[in-house]
C-alpha cells in the first residue's frame, strides 16, 4: 500500500500583503464569531487542491506544474476587498479577493488545471475565483451580525500587491494543532 499525501498548488503572498491580511484577521476576530482562522504563515492563493494523492504521483505533479508555470509570464496580483463564500448572508469561508492580475492568475490556474487533467486529475467544476482564505466558520450559522458588518467594511480595502513569480506545490499534514505545510516543488514563472 502506497503512502498518500494531501497536496495542493498555490501562490505564496509577499510579506506586506501577508501583514495586511493579518491586520484584517485581527479586526474580523473581534466579531467573536466561531471561526477557525488561518495562521499567517499559511496565507496563500490556492490554484488547485488535489487532495490525497499517492506519493509516486508527486514527481509527475511537480513536473506538470513546472511546465504550466514556465508557460506564463510573472505578474502582479492586487489583493483587495473581503467577502465570504457562498455569500455574506450565509458565510462559511471568509476571504480576501483579488482585482488587478485576475486574468493572469485565472490563465495560470487554467494551465495548471489542464496539465494535471492530462495526468488523470478531475477538473474543477466550479469557476476559479482567486482569493486568500482567512477563516472558515466552524458550523453553519456561526456568523455574527458584527462579522458580516466588518466584512462589508472591508469590501474595498486594498491589502497591497503581491508578485506572482512562482507557484508552489505543497503537502499539507493535518494535526489537532492545525495543518503544517511543506513545499514539495517551486515552479518559477517566466521573468
Which of the residues are catalytic?
A: 44, 131
Q: Pinpoint the alpha helices (H) of the chain.
A: 15-29, 58-70, 102-118, 145-153
Beta-carbon contacts of 166 under 8 Å, excluding residues fewer than 6 positions away, are 11, 12, 69, 186, 187, 188, 189
> β-pairing, 180-188 with 4-12?
unpaired
Bridge partners for 133 per DSSP: 95
**Residue 158: phi, psi to the nearest 5?**
-95, 120
Compute the distance between CA of residue 52 and CA of residue 171 in angstroms, rounded to an integer.
9
Amino acid at each position: 500500500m502506497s503512502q498518500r499525501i494531501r497536496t495542493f498548488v498555490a501562490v505564496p503572498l509577499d510579506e506586506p500583503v501577508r501583514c495586511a491580511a493579518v491586520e484584517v484577521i485581527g479586526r474580523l476576530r473581534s466579531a467573536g464569531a466561531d471561526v477557525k482562522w488561518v495562521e499567517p504563515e499559511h496565507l496563500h492563493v490556492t490554484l488547485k487542491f488535489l487532495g490525497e494523492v499517492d506519493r509516486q504521483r508527486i514527481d509527475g505533479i511537480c513536473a506538470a506544474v513546472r511546465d504550466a508555470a514556465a508557460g506564463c509570464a510573472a505578474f502582479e496580483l492586487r489583493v483587495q476587498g473581503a467577502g465570504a463564500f457562498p455569500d455574506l448572508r450565509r458565510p462559511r469561508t471568509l476571504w480576501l479577493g483579488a482585482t488587478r492580475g485576475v486574468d493572469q492568475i485565472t490563465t495560470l490556474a487554467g494551465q495548471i488545471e489542464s496539465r494535471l487533467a492530462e495526468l488523470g486529475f478531475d477538473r474543477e467544476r466550479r469557476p476559479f475565483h482567486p482569493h486568500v482564505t482567512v477563516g472558515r466558520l466552524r458550523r453553519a450559522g456561526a456568523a455574527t451580525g458584527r462579522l458580516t458588518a466588518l466584512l462589508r467594511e472591508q469590501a474595498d480595502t486594498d491589502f497591497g500587491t503581491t508578485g506572482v513569480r512562482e507557484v508552489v506545490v505543497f503537502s499539507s499534514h493535518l494535526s489537532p494543532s492545525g495543518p503544517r505545510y511543506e513545499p514539495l516543488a517551486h515552479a518559477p514563472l517566466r521573468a
